[in-house]
Amino acid sequence: MPQSPSRGTKAMRSAEKGATLETYLAERRALIDAALERFLPGEGDGPEIIYQAVRYSLFAGGKRLRPILCMAAAEAVGGHGQDFLPCACALEMIHTYSLIHDDLPAMDNDDYRRGMPTNHRVFGEGIAILAGDALLTEAFHLLSSPECTRDNPEKHLQVINLIARAAGTAGMVGGQAMDLQGEGKTLALQAIEDMHRRKTGAMLTVSVSSGAILAGASTKQTAALSRYGQDIGLAFQIADDILNVTGDSDLMGKGTGSDLSRGKTTFPALMGLDASRNRLTELVEEAGAHLAGFDNRAEPLRWIARYIMDRNR
């Protein structure tokens, strides 16, 4: 009979927690992948090539971090995560559009992502641009679909508005423009943090807050969860930068050191590797502190914060 977790050694508890997290993430990914299949517009409803290009990037082995955060935040305030799969999937569609456009020759000019040729390398630049446009548009189509919004139109409009803001000029698009303009320049720490808060942080934060809002969180709960989202958003970027210096290029799916060769300012380049690791730990601890007022239903959010620190991308 296996020993109960409460009586195991610290190392064993940690290993079991790891196994629990892996199981949790795998289960969530399966749910999200099935829902994405369901929510994608059907073939015959437009030219086949655009569906092929959309599916190629949407099912390229993404971690589904944003939809998982959305569902976990809904559960942290007492909701049932699966009720919010449309919003969760829309967030993943917007994330995938941003990756397709970021990889284009006029942007980061990446040939590989997650070890596979990037969308424009397979389908050509024109179709890749359109596949990104399609995913962004279909995300808002899904977010406003009558089946999903019937029960609470006001909250769905609020979430659409927050997601559009996070994805737009004040958020992700603005951050990408700053990133593009910063290439070849050494940016100050504050400018780098501002850029990442927009480029990655805004969408990670809204993933958390949208799940919370749709599940009926109080204003105070939504505020605390948003701050958690901001902290893990920046932590995520610092972890990525560290991995870009130290990581295994197979795990990254692209060459290690690619930021450096592209003349991008990274946290390790700016503050050194040790200080970057300290800042990462600090952010993950702060993220955890914002969850202090939540019970054990927020446990997956606590796991995810640590996962971001430990992950190999």
Measured distance CA(80)–CA(150) in Å, rounded: 17
Interacting residues with a copy of itself between 174 and 193 (CB under 8 A)? 174, 176-178, 180-181
Give the CB-side neighbour count of residue 295, counting CA atoms within 13 A. 4
CA distances from 83 to 34, 138, 159, 295 (A): 14, 19, 15, 20
Interacting residues with a copy of itself between 244 and 303 (CB under 8 A)? none
Nearer to a copy of itself, 65 or 167 (CB): 167
- Assign 112 to helix, strand or coil: strand
Q: Are 212 and 222 in contact (CB under 8 A)?
A: yes
Nearer to a copy of itself, 2 or 146 (CB): 146
Nearer to a copy of itself, 178 or 273 (CB): 178
Identify which range of 5-13, 151-159, 234-242, 301-309 contacts a copy of itself by CB under 8 A. Answer: 151-159
Interacting residues with a copy of itself between 45 and 64 (CB under 8 A)? 45-47, 49-51, 54
Q: Are 105 and 129 in contact (CB under 8 A)?
A: no
Of these, 32, 99, 167, 287, which contacts a copy of itself (CB under 8 A)? 167
130 binds a copy of itself (CB under 8 A): yes
136 binds a copy of itself (CB under 8 A): yes
170 binds a copy of itself (CB under 8 A): yes
Pair of tokens at residue 136: 């962004």
What share of residues in the chain are helix, strand, coil (percent, to 5)? 75, 0, 25
Of these, 129, 192, 235, 305, which contacts a copy of itself (CB under 8 A)? 129
71 binds a copy of itself (CB under 8 A): no
Identify which range of 4-12, 69-77, 104-112, 275-283 contacts a copy of itself by CB under 8 A. Answer: 104-112
Of these, 101, 113, 264, 290, which contacts a copy of itself (CB under 8 A)? 101
Residue from 103, 102, 91, 99 nearest 64 by CA: 91
Long-range own/partner contacts, residues 259-268 (CB < 8 A, 24 or more apart): 262/108, 262/183, 263/183, 263/184, 263/185, 264/179, 264/182, 264/183, 265/182, 265/185, 265/186, 265/187, 265/192, 266/241, 267/192, 267/237, 267/238, 267/241, 267/242, 268/241, 268/242
Measured distance CA(18)–CA(264) in Å, rounded: 33
Identify which range of 1-9, 10-18, 166-174, 274-282 contacts a copy of itself by CB under 8 A. Answer: 166-174
Identify which range of 155-163, 217-225, 283-291, 298-306 contacts a copy of itself by CB under 8 A. Answer: 155-163
Q: Interface residues with a copy of itself (CB under 8 A)?
A: 41, 45-47, 49-51, 54, 101, 104-107, 124-130, 132-134, 136-138, 140-141, 143-146, 149, 153-154, 156-158, 160-161, 164-165, 167-171, 173-174, 176-178, 180-181, 198
